[in-house]
Structure 1
C-alpha cells in the first residue's frame, strides 16, 4: 500500500509514519506534505497513491482548498483535533475521521475500513460514503461547541486529559508547545500555536505574541510602557516577561473590552 501524509506538524507526521510501519512494515509512505501548495504540486506530479492521511489545518490554509484546486479522487482518512469539520470532511472522498492525538487501535480500524470499502465486492455499492455520513450525523449532538474542551496528554506510558477550563496559557519553546494549568502544571501538547488559535475559544484565549497564547482570566496585570508597549503578568507566573507584539496591541485592547 502506498500512502501520503498531509500534515504540517513534523512530530505528528513522524508519529503517524511510525504507527503505519507498526501496523504493516510494507506500507510505503511516499511523501509527507506540510501545506496546501505542496500537496497540490505533489498530487499533480505523482500517481499511484492508494490512501492519504490528511490534517484539516495546514500551514497555509485548510486542506479543503486542495480539493478546490485539483480533482483528487484518492481515498482520504482525515486527522485533526477540530471536529467542526467532520461533516465537511465526509463530503469529499473520506474513509474515516481520526481525532488527534491518534490512537493506534483507531488507526488500525480506519485502515481496515479502507480495505473493506475498497474490496471488489464493496466497490459494487456506490452508496457507502452517504451511509457513512448518515451514521456520522447520527452520532453528533446538536449544539456541540466547536472549540476544544480538553486535551489528551501523553506522559510516558500513561495518558492524561486536561480540561481547557483548567488551562491558563500556552507557550512554545525549542519547537515544542506547552500548556500551563491553574495549579502550575506544565505539559507538552501536539499542536502548534497556529493550530491552537483555531481550536480555542477566541473570547477566552488570545495570542499575544508568536510564542504565547493567554487566557483572559489568567491575566493578573497589564503594564503600559512608552510608545504603547504592553507587558502582561499572568498567573501562574511565566518564566520570562510577556510583552504583547506591537502589531497586536490594538486587537488585544479590543479583545479585553469585549
Structure 2
C-alpha cells in the first residue's frame, strides 16, 4: 500500500507517520504545501491513500485536486470543526480532527481497508467545499452545561464561561463568577459542542471565550499570553503553531 501525508506542520506530519508505523503502515512521502504536492503528483504515480490536511501554508488543499486529477482515497486530517466537513464525509474515507486520536486513526484505517476490494475512488465537488468553507452550515451549539455541585445539579450558561481547561485528568469550566466546575468528558468531546466563533482552542489545555479576553501580550518563541477578565490560576499561552489561526479568529 502506498501512503502519502500532506501536512504543512512538520511535527504533526512526523507524529502521524509514527502512529501509522505502529499500525504497520509505512509512509513513503510527506508533502507540505499545495505547490509541492502539485509538482509531486504531476511527476509520480499516485498513491493508494492520502492523509490530507485541509489548510496548508500556501492555500487550501483542494487546489491540488483542481490542478491534478487524483483518484486516490483520502482521509482528512484537519483542525476544522465537523460542521464544515459534511461534504467530505460523503466522498472521502473519513476525517480526523486534530490532535489525532490513536483509536480514531485505527478506525479510519480499518474503514479504508474494508473499501480496498471495491477500489472505490474519491470524487470531490470542490465548488461545494469552497462554499462550505466560506459559509459553513448553520448548526446549534450548546447554550448551557449541567454540572454536579454536591448532591445538586447546576446549569451554567455558556456565555458565563471564560474558559474550559484540563488539569490532572479533569475537565473544568471557569465562569465569570470566579468559580471552577468539574465537567463530564474531555476537552475533545466538549469541542464539538462549542461555537467556534466564540471559543478557540489556544493550546492542548485551554479553550478561551473571545468575550472574556482582557489582554494579549507577546510571549517567548513567537507565542502570545492571554489574560482573561477573572481567570488567573495559571498562565494561558497560545501555542506557536496556533498564533496565526488565533489572530485570524479574533478578526
Give the 3 Å change call, closer, same or farther, for CA 18–177 of structure 1 in structure 2. farther
Map 1:73-222 → 2, pairs under 5 A: 73-83=71-81, 85-90=84-89, 93-120=91-118, 142=139, 145-147=195-197, 149-151=199-201, 153-154=203-204, 160-165=205-210, 169=216, 173-174=220-221, 177=223, 180-182=226-228, 183=232, 185-187=235-237, 189=239, 191-198=241-248, 200-202=249-251
Count of aligned residue pairs for this structure pair: 181
Q: CA deviation at 1:149?
A: 2.5
Instruction: Confirm or deny: 8 A CA contact 2:49 2:75 kept in the other structure.
Output: yes
Does the CA contact (< 8 Å) of 1:55 and 1:79 recur in 2?
Answer: yes
* Closer, same or farther: CA 67–147 of 1 in aligned 2, 3 Å: farther
Q: In the alignment, what sits opposite 1:61?
A: 59
Corresponding residue of 1:212: none
Kindly provide the CA deviation profile for residues 61-81 of structure 1, in whole angstroms up to 9, marking residues without a partner as x. Answer: 111111111111111111111
Q: Any idea what the Cα deviations from partners look like across 1:24-58, whole Å, max 9, x if unmatched? A: 2xx22122211110111111111151111111111
- Cα separation, partners in 2 of 1:128 and 1:39, compared to 1, 3 Å: closer
Alpha-carbon spacing, 1:68–1:153, altered in 2? closer, same or farther (3 Å): same
Extract unaligned runs of 5+ from structure 1.
Answer: 130-139, 155-159, 203-258
Cα distance 1:128–1:35, how it changes in 2: closer, same or farther (>3 A)?
closer
| Residue pair 1:77, 1:96 contacting (<8 A) in 2 also | yes
Q: CA deviation at 1:173?
A: 4.5
| CA gap 1:127/1:23 in 2 versus in 1, 3 angstroms | closer
Aligned partner of 1:2 in structure 2 is 2
- How far the C-alpha of 1:96 sits from its partner, in A, is 0.9
Q: TM-score, normalised by structure 1?
A: 0.58
Is the 1:82–1:148 contact (alpha carbons within 8 Å) kept by the matching residues of 2? no
Shift in CA distance, 147/187, structure 1 to aligned 2, threshold 3 Å: same
- CA RMSD in angstroms comes to 3.5
How does the TM-score come out when normalised to structure 2?
A: 0.59
Q: In 2, Cα distance between the equivalents of 1:118 and 1:68?
A: 24
Q: Which runs of 5+ in 2 are unaligned?
A: 125-136, 142-194
1:162, distance to aligned residue in structure 2 (A): 2.7
How far 1:113 moved relative to its partner? 0.9
Go from structure 1 to structure 2 and tell me whether the alpha carbon gap of 1:111 and 1:173 turns closer, same or farther (over 3 Å shift).
farther
- Matched residues in 2 for 1:98 and 1:104: separation? 10
Single out whichever of 164-173 and 108-117 deviates more from structure 2: 164-173
